[in-house]
Amino acid sequence: MNVFSEVGRYILFMRYVFKRPERGRMFWNMLMREMNLIGIESLVVVILIAVITGAVTTVQTASQLKSDSGVLPPSLFPMEIVGSVVGSSSVLELAPTITCLVLAGKIGANIASEIGNMKVSEQIDAYEVMGINSIGFVSFPKILAGVIVIPFLIVLSNFLLIFGGLMAAKITGIMTMDEYVTGLRSSFLPLYAKVLLVKSYVFSFIITSLSCFQGYYTTGGALEVGEAGTKAVTRICVTILLFDLIIAKLLL
Amino acid sequence: MIQLVDLNKYFEEKHVLKNINARFLPGVANLVIGASGGGKSVMVKTMVGLEKPSSGQVLFENQDFNNLEYEQQQVLRREIGMLFQGTALFDSLTVEQNVEFPLMMFSNMNKEERMDRVNLCLSRVNLVNANKKTPAEISGGMKKRVGIARAIALNIKYLFCDEPNSGLDPLTSRVIDTLLHDITKEFGITTIINSHDMKTVKDIGEHIVFVHQGQKWWEGSSHDLAEAQKSNPELDAFVKASF
């Protein structure tokens, strides 16, 4: 199946996602459940990834600026640059993109497998026979929950990346905390926050909608359910990186 | 009454249903019989709207299902219950929640009324003390019964059953057959059972549609089956092979 027909099928799929839910209360319950699954249950992995990535970025950037590194001429750049690099790369790239690539693996595979399993075990057919818009019923709460919760995770991840860098600077002694914070402040532009938020909402929509789409069109059995999860993650990652480039070009 | 008029279904080049005309009578157990791979399941799925016919009509009380607006189709679907071959119970919900599900979606009952209805349906299928179990914790026969209870939770007019006896031992199969027969009579619904089990035909079949290689080969009352076998070698071979 070529890319164009897949995109067409995705657009047709999305038409059914945003139909009014049959039962508001049931939709609300499902939304809360999904917000918990997507948000709370991803918290630990997001915290770990953010702190470690922030620390690694700081240590690696500082090591290249050290006078004895041989990478750059001695004392060409002040160490404040490290805070500046970590701060701007966190807001612009690491927090939204790395977090979402990790969440694609966790949430995307989970959603695609869950819906894929429902599809092959005829649960989706059961919704349809009952007169329920099955696409909207299983997908809308997941997509909405993702769009609400994932941006919070990304903003949290951004702060933790910076915090991780700060801790690394303090623990390893490669620079003072003052140097780090000064660099951090000097590099920040309000536009960066806007880019972060735009990326957050776009990426969270990509993660949840693509995984729902991939899961919904699963056919076959257990093997294909596993394949649906893998395909969903691959497609989400490629799409996120593509939109990362488009947003960066458009907004910066 | 449900009628199929010149129904055809293709999967790409493969002609699965070939110009089928059939009637399914109200208030009786209608059986669709035939060998595996003959098109029975596709026919039932086309009747409930899970597959779109390539041409032809599926008439519910003279309304063509596929010509109805989406919203009208959804309304009609609420009068349809279906027991799936693999039961299709929602595995994240308990037995009780599975049966309650259609009531929560489409009725204005309060919690107490819903529970009364759930318990009524579960007792009707002889399933007690399993309310809080999940589908993974119950046997195949119990799952079928929960599937039937869920299908009849709303006041349906049509009950479709896709291979209700598949994967069940002969004794449990007879229990399920009897249950389907009793429910059909008690609620006065049109039941369409897709089966290749001739014991089911013998026990509860009233109106039979024999499908062979995607074509309707024979249709008639169960009383006429023996007579039809004499003039219909394919039907005769199927019936004899089943015993």
User: Is the residue at B176 inside a domain?
Assistant: no
Please tell me which of the candidates B73, B75, B84 has its beta carbon nearest to residue A122.
B84
The predicted structure's pLDDT at residue A136: 95
Q: Is residue B30 part of a domain?
A: yes
Give the single-character DSSP code of A20.
P
Going by pLDDT thresholds of 50, 70 and 90, the confidence category of residue A159 is very high
Interatomic CA distance for residues A28 and B116, integer angstroms? 24
Binned at pLDDT 50, 70 and 90, residue A70 comes out as low
Q: Compute φ and ψ for B57, nearest 5 degrees.
A: -130, 150
CB-based contact B106 A26, cutoff 8 Å: no
Confidence at residue A67, expressed as pLDDT on a 0 to 100 scale: 61
pLDDT digits (tens, 9 = 90+) for B137-178: 999 889 999 999 999 998 899 999 998 888 888 888 888 888
Q: For B25-41, give one letter per residue: b (16+ CB within 10 A) or e.
A: eeebbbbbbbbeebbbb
> Does A70 contact chain B (CB < 8 Å)?
no
Q: What is the spatial distance between Cα B114 and Cα B123, in angstroms, rounded to a whole number?
A: 14
Q: Quick check: B48 and A26 CB within 8 A?
A: no
Give domain status of residue B214, yes or no: yes
- Residue B239: give its domain's CATH number: 3.40.50.300
| pLDDT tens digits for range A95-134 | 999 999 999 999 999 999 999 999 999 999 999 998 899 9
SS3 (DSSP) at B8 = strand
- B236 CA: distance to closest CA in chain A (Å): 33
> Could you say which of A23, A121, A131 has the minimum Cβ distance to residue B75?
A131
B88 touches chain A (CB under 8 A): yes
pLDDT tier, A75 (very low <50, low <70, confident <90, very high otherwise): low
Q: Do A130 and B88 touch (CB under 8 A)?
A: no
Walk along chain B (243 residues) and give the pLDDT tens digit of each residue. 899 999 999 998 899 999 999 999 999 999 999 888 888 989 999 999 999 999 999 999 999 998 998 888 888 888 999 999 888 999 989 999 999 999 998 888 999 999 999 999 999 888 888 899 999 999 988 999 999 999 999 889 999 999 888 888 888 888 888 889 998 998 899 999 998 888 888 888 899 999 999 999 899 988 888 888 888 888 888 888 876
pLDDT above 70 as % of chain B: 100
A–B CB contacts, 8 A cutoff, strictly below: 53
**B94: how many CB neighbours lie within 10 A of its CB?**
18
Angstrom distance (rounded) from CA A87 to CA A169: 13
Do the domain assignments include residue B121? Answer: no
Domain total in chain B:
1
Instruction: Indicate whether B180 belongs to any domain.
Output: no
Of residues A23, A126, A130, nearest to B78 (C-beta): A130
Separation of alpha carbons A215 and A212, rounded Å: 5
Residues for chain A: how many in total?
A: 252
Which chain A residue is nearest to residue B154, measuring alpha carbons? A130
Residue B178 lies in a domain: no
Q: Do A130 and B73 touch (CB under 8 A)?
A: no
A12 touching B (Cβ < 8 Å): no
Whether B16 contacts B42, CB under 8 Å:
yes
Domain that holds residue B238: 1-79+157-169+190-243
Global pTM? 0.88
B78 contacts A129? CB cut-off 8 A: no
| Integer Cα distance of B8 and B5 in angstroms | 9
Specify the pLDDT at position A101. 96
Tokens of B166: 């598949």
